[in-house]
Amino acid sequence: MRAWQAANLDGFIELLREDASYHMPPWREWYQGREAIRGFFETVWANFGGFRAVAIGANAQPAVAVYARGHRDRKWQAHSLHVIEPAEGGIASLTVYVPPLGSKLFSAFGLPTA
C-alpha cells in the first residue's frame, strides 16, 4: 500500500514474484512477469495525480481498495479493487477490478465512492 500511494514503482515491483501475473476483469488484458507488469504501470501511473489505498479483504485474501485523482483534481474517486494472492517469495497474482466495475464494488465493502 505504501509503494502504491507513493507511486514507488520499484518498491511495488520488488513485492512481486518474478513470475507474477496481473489481470483486470472485465478486460481481457493481462501481464505476466515483473518486467511486463512494470511496463504497464510505467504508462498508467503517469495518468494520475495521486493514489490512496485502503486495506480490505476479498475472497479470504488480502485486498486493497484504491482511490485515485487526476492531475488537476482535488477530489478522490473510487477507482479499483486489487485482490492479492500472496505466495512464498512475494505476490504471485493481482486480480484488479478496474472501472467501471471496480468503483461500483466499493459499496459492497462498505467504502465510500468519493
pTM for the model: 0.88
For residue 12, the model assigns a pLDDT of 94
For residue 83, the model assigns a pLDDT of 96
Q: In three state form, how does the secondary structure of 27-78 look?
A: CCCEEECHHHHHHHHHHHHHHCCEEEEEEEEECCEEEEEEEEECCCCCCCEE
Q: Which residues of the chain have pLDDT under 70?
A: none
Taking domain 2-109, whether its CATH number is 3.40.190.10 is answered by no
